[in-house]
Amino acid sequence: MIAPVLHGRKKEDAVMSKLLELVERKEAKIAVIGLGYVGLPVAACLADAGFSVTGVDLKADRLARIAKGECPIEGEEPGLAPMITKVVAEKKLVVTNDYKNLADVDIVLIDVDTPVEADNKPAYKALRGACEALGAVMKEGILVIVESTIAPGTVDKVVAPLLEKVSGKKRNEGFFLGHCPERVMPGRLLQNLTQLSRVCGGSTPETAKAMVALYRSIVKGDLDEADCVTAELVKTAENTYRDVNIAFANELAMICESSGGKFLRVRELVNKSPGRNVLLSGAGVGGHCITKDPWLLAHGAPGLDTKVIAAARARNDGMPAHVLSLVESGLAEAGKKLAGAKLAILGFSYLEDSDDTRHAPTEYFLGHAKAAGVECVVHDPYVEEFKGDLWKVLEGADAAVVMVAHTAYRSLDLHAVASKLRTKVFVDARHVFDVGAARAAGLVVRSLGNAVAAKDGVST
Ligand SMILES: NC(=O)c1ccc[n+]([C@@H]2O[C@H](COP(=O)([O-])OP(=O)(O)OC[C@H]3O[C@@H](n4cnc5c(N)ncnc54)[C@H](O)[C@@H]3O)[C@@H](O)[C@H]2O)c1
């Protein structure tokens, strides 16, 4: 019997059901482009679930470490290093910088960095580079899923046209396209990846269904089918929501300082009111995501004056300078000027117990301090450059400034800290230390969100 020729949607449906079968049997060949904080754990998880995964990156040192079964991500990442060692040894995960090795893959995940330019517009150099290189080799019927965070409209306006142009194939015919943004956070990469819910935005409903089948092999949380623009909006909105809420907490902390309050106590009592959840204030917002995702969301409506987003970004970007003003105030109480002072800075990464230094508030603090004629010596147990002896960093400094709430700092003996300092000023920008206890150790204390007048020993 002659096989019937498949026309129109029937052909696409047949391609999709073949793909679904391959996914169900874990026989789909998968590639992950970009092996950073997001792509590497995803590649490892899919390989651990039984798929053959090819990881692609441009960084030779990163590829070499992964090929040896090593995890190039420092910091506390429970379970990740042993998983990489295992899947590399089993040859379920192989890595390359050569896109030609992707010619026979069935599904590609794109996990490259998507920063913004100096003018806050999306900088899609990596995304475009990945699409161009992939488009040149991708086979008929491939499913391409962008996991990187992107501005609303990017799949339709950037990714699809580029892949179509380079490959000569049409979306929803010669290839299928989806957007499944990641929700991981350094420090909990595997846990977030496997437990949190995901939005599976497909260019067609069938594509979304195939994505759900794929992610079900590694994700325990909900997998919600959607279209691509909904997925783009959800991801950028959830990070913008966080940025705006942190900005409110930071502004409230500054109001507490000026009006005689204590932020933690005010927050605790506000949060007793139903539906309120004031976040923690801090030394600033860093990382690759929250600092730029609000601008990606804003890019979805180029003509709109996104005032709330801009104000939140400005408040959070202003926090390192505010911390420096707390240092200045503490030094003044101790009879010392800011210019010419020497500071011991505790913490450089943007997040506690992580090695991720992207857009770290400490970096901006150091810039402000330098401009003010202040010398800074930095310590961070997770960042190679600053891993030295904490006590040597504290020795002879005019103030210790806690910029990151690393676990290693939480149990610091404040009497010992005071004994090392030349001028006994202690600035806590992360709500780590009890103000009363720090004062009892003989320190002049400035604690973010605490009015200086609130000198009693009430626990903060
Ligand atoms: N870091 C997070 O916590 C997090 C969380 C959720 C979502 N995201 C999003 O995920 C995406 C990736 O973030 P990340 O933190 O993993 O970034 P990253 O910088 O750690 O990793 C990106 C990797 O992509 C590689 N790369 C760049 N261009 C490439 C190309 N053309 N071909 C192959 N490799 C290329 C880079 O060398 C790098 O190793 C971003 O869009 C980010 O917004 C990040």
Q: What is the pLDDT of residues 152-184, one digit of tens each?
A: 999 999 999 999 999 999 999 999 999 999 999
pLDDT of residue 454: 59
Side chain identity at residue 385, one-letter code:
E
pLDDT at position 458: 42
Q: What is the pLDDT of residue 10?
A: 75
Is the pLDDT score of 445 beyond 50?
yes
Please give the distance, rounded to the nearest whole angstrom, from the Cα atom of residue 106 to the centre of ligand 1: 21
Average confidence (pLDDT) over 342-354? 96
Mean residue pLDDT of the chain comes to: 95
CA 387 to chain centroid, in Å, comes to 22
Ligand 1 mutation pick, 146, 154, 182, max ligand atoms within 8 A of CB: 182
**Which of the 8 DSSP states describes residue 116?**
B
**How would residue 359 be classed by pLDDT, with cut points 50, 70 and 90?**
very high
Q: Note the Cα 459 to chain centre separation in Å.
A: 32
The ligand 1 atom at the shortest distance from the C-alpha of residue 181 is 7
Q: How many whole angstroms from 45 Cα to the centroid of ligand 1?
A: 17
How remote is the CA of residue 115 from the centroid of ligand 1, in Å?
Answer: 9
- Ligand 1 atom nearest to CA at 40: 16
The pLDDT value given to residue 8: 57
For ligand 1, what atom is nearest to the CA of residue 133?
A: 31
Dihedral sign from CA coordinates of 360, 69, 113, 49: negative
pLDDT value, residue 26 = 96
Per-residue tokens: 219: 């994700």
Average pLDDT over residues 1-10: 53
208-258 tens-digit pLDDT: 999 999 999 999 999 999 999 999 999 999 999 999 999 999 999 999 999
Band (pLDDT 50/70/90 cuts) for residue 7 is low
pLDDT at 16: 87
**344-354: average pLDDT:** 96
pLDDT in tens, 299-321: 999 999 999 999 999 999 999 99
Catalytic residue positions, numbered: 235, 289
pLDDT for 1 equals 42
CA distances from 421 to 329, 339, 373, 401, 426 (A): 17, 17, 19, 11, 9
pTM of the entire structure? 0.92
Kindly give the distance from the C-alpha atom of residue 57 to the centroid of ligand 1, in angstroms, as a whole number. Answer: 10
Which of the listed residues 111, 184, 355 should we mutate to test ligand 1's pocket, taking the one with most ligand atoms within 8 A of CB? Answer: 111
Residues 6+ apart with CB under 8 A from 335: none
Q: Where are the alpha helices (DSSP H) in 205-275?
A: 205-216, 228-259, 263-270
Domain with CATH 3.40.50.720 in the chain: 8-221, 248-447
Q: What percent of the chain has pLDDT over 90?
A: 92
Bridge partners, 54 (sequence order): 31, 94
Pocket test for ligand 1, best of 32, 112, 166, 291 (most atoms within 8 A of CB): 112
Quick one: which atom of ligand 1 is closest to the CA of 34?
24
Q: Is the pLDDT of residue 142 over 50?
A: yes
Give distance in angstroms: CA of 109 to centre of ligand 1: 11
Coil, helix or strand at residue 369: helix
Best probe residue, ligand 1, of 54, 124, 198, 289 (max atoms within 8 Å of C-beta): 289
Q: How confident is the model at residue 194 (pLDDT cuts 50, 70, 90)?
A: very high
Over range 139-150, report the average pLDDT: 97
pLDDT of amino acid 446: 98
Protein residue with least CA distance to atom 3, ligand 1: 185
| Ligand 1 centroid, distance to 254 Cα (angstroms) | 34
Whether pLDDT at 193 is above 60: yes
Helix (H, G, I), strand (E, B) or coil at 94: strand
pLDDT tens for each residue of 34-76: 999 999 999 999 999 999 999 999 999 999 999 999 999 987 8
Banded model confidence at residue 453, pLDDT cuts 50, 70, 90: confident
Atom of ligand 1 nearest to the CA of 130: 31
Average pLDDT over residues 429-442: 97
The pLDDT score that the predictor gives to residue 460 is: 39
Which residue lies with its CA nearest to atom 17 of ligand 1? 113
Given this model, what pLDDT does residue 83 score?
97
Residue 93, SS3 per DSSP: strand
CATH 3.40.50.720 matches 8-221: yes
Ligand 1 centre to CA of 114 (Å) is 7
Which ligand 1 atom is nearest residue 289's CA? 43
Pocket of ligand 1 (CB under 6 A): 33-39, 56-59, 62, 111-114, 126, 129-130, 148-149, 182, 184-186, 288-289
Looking at CATH, the fold of the domain delimited by 248-447 is given as Rossmann fold (3.40.50)
User: What is the spatial distance between Cα 16 and Cα 11, in angstroms, rounded to a whole number?
Assistant: 9
- Rg of the chain taking only CA atoms, in angstroms: 25
Tell me which residue has its CA closest to atom 10 in ligand 1.
148
